[in-house]
Amino acid sequence: MAEAWIVRAGREDDYEESIFKHNIISIGWSAAGDLTSRSTQQDIKDVVRANYPEVEPRSADTYAIQLFAFRSRMRVGDLVLLLRRTSPDVAVGWITGSYQYRADLGRTMRHVRPVNWVRTDLPRSVLATELLNLPALATIFRINQPDVVERMRRLLGGATPEAPDAAADQPVTAQESGPFVNLQRNLNYARNLATAGQHLAQLKVRAFEVDDVFRAAWVQAVAALDHWVRQEIRERMRRLAEQVDAAEKFQGFGAFSMTLGLFQQVQQGKLTLAEALDQQLRQTHSHLTYQNPNKIREGFALVGNVNGLWDRVARVLSEQAGDGVKTSGIEVQQQLREIVHRRNKIAHEYDEDPQNAPRKRPIDAAATTQTIDWIEQLAGAIVAALEQE
């Protein structure tokens, strides 16, 4: 039975042009070398650990799992969905050949599977259910929904089924209603705005400035990050309240202040400690914004060890990218500040281009999509970094 796979586009500027031109899909980790003769997961794990000695063992194992999936689990006839970087749309195709190792496509495009690309412009909204629980840091991911292949066959065959209602198709579990899934829902809304802007641009709509739709998506993405940080802190505070040694492990949690009124309600059994902490956070932190890197770090200091947080986040992002490009904590913070600065310019100052006033700064679907994707990956890296301690 055919399976469906999601693959994230590589970060190279010519990645999408190259894979569509050559009818292939490619993933990173080129330093692992030729995997043609390495058919088992243990074989690939051994070669990955040998060629990535500086990478944390857990990250190296993640490389191996994904390379094994690409090398051996993907089969001819499987569906592949490419999350593009230059567009909010998704490319869809069918695997047509076995694993290949190629040295003629550039330094980072060595691991290759032949693909028959059928569409490169499928709106993400059509895949709302399939993309809802996609791991933020995964390059390749198998979709565990049995009907997705047939649904895509109908869609690609000419029928156009409506985008599925995730809430109607699947029961909402505690995990699905958690902070990170809520972040993904909010970011998907931003992606839908970017899709709308792209389609309006193609139609050459002149009734208003279409680029403002991309700006609205940018603002929504930053708001989604802010909201996620707030929810994540509250969720972690509630969990820590159930641990007897939490105050000893995390200084910020131990120093958190709660009103005497809430404390008495806990003593009287009217509230649990977790409920009281939740109320206190709502009262004292609801006015805070979590967009600036320093504020995000201060917020997570309540629930975890934030020593060297941004360096740890940068390491997660670098290792999970799989393309050998390293980034630093300073660079991660700077990129976030630039994104937030652009958001503030859009929301409060017209987004004027200082080099070409009074015109606005250029913005397009590619830049907006990459910003949305980066915010999702940043949040995933923050979670991973916090869980390392």
The angle subtended at Cα 354 by Cα 351 and Cα 359, nearest 5°, is: 60
Decide: residue 298, CB within 10 A, 0-12 exposed, 13-18 middle, 19+ buried.
middle
From residue 128, alpha-carbon distances to 79, 111, 167, 370, 373 in Å are: 17, 28, 10, 18, 15
Give Cα 267 to chain centroid, integer Å.
42
Are 228 and 379 a contacting pair, CB within 8 Å?
Answer: yes
Phi, psi of 100 (to 5 degrees): -135, 150
Cα(69)–Cα(117) distance, rounded to whole angstroms?
20
3-state SS assignment for residue 273: helix
Q: Where are the beta strands (DSSP E) in the chain?
A: 4-8, 24-27, 79-83, 90-95, 100-101, 111-122, 140-142
Cα(13)–Cα(189) distance, rounded to whole angstroms?
25
Cα(228)–Cα(326) distance, rounded to whole angstroms?
26
How many other CB atoms are found less than 10 A from the CB of residue 250? Answer: 22
Cα(61)–Cα(238) distance, rounded to whole angstroms?
31
Cα(190)–Cα(203) distance, rounded to whole angstroms?
20
Task: For the chain, 389 residues long, give each residue's pLDDT as a single digit of tens.
Answer: 789 999 999 888 899 999 999 999 999 899 999 999 998 999 999 999 999 988 888 888 999 999 999 999 999 999 999 999 999 999 999 999 999 999 998 888 999 999 999 999 988 888 877 776 788 888 999 988 778 888 888 888 754 444 444 433 343 333 445 899 999 999 999 999 999 999 888 888 777 889 999 999 999 999 999 999 999 998 998 888 888 777 777 778 888 888 999 989 988 999 888 888 888 888 877 778 899 999 999 999 999 999 999 999 999 999 887 766 789 999 999 999 999 999 999 999 889 988 888 899 999 999 999 999 999 999 999 999 998 76
pTM of the model: 0.87
The tokens for 272 are 């649990």
Q: How many helices (H) and strands (E) does the chain have?
A: 16, 7
Q: What is the pLDDT of residue 187?
A: 94
Q: Of 34, 36, 145, nearest to 81 (Cα)?
A: 145
- Mode of pairing for the β-strands spanning 4-8 and 79-83: parallel
Are 262 and 279 a contacting pair, CB within 8 Å?
Answer: yes
- % helix / strand / coil in the chain, to the nearest 5? 55, 10, 35
Decide: residue 332, CB within 10 A, 0-12 exposed, 13-18 middle, 19+ buried.
buried
Helices (DSSP H) in 241-292: which residue ranges? 246-249, 251-254, 260-267, 273-285
3-state SS assignment for residue 307: coil
Q: Of 9, 33, 1, 143, nearest to 86 (Cα)?
A: 9
Taken in order of first residue, the domains within the chain and their CATH numbers are 4-170 (3.10.590), 186-387 (no CATH)
Cα(371)–Cα(85) distance, rounded to whole angstroms?
9
| DSSP 8-state code for residue 163 | P
Q: What is the pLDDT of residue 389?
A: 62
What b/e sequence results for 50-71 when a residue is b if at least 16 CB atoms lie within 10 Å of its CB, and e otherwise? Answer: eebeebeeebbebbbbbbbbbb
How many other CB atoms are found less than 10 A from the CB of residue 48? Answer: 26
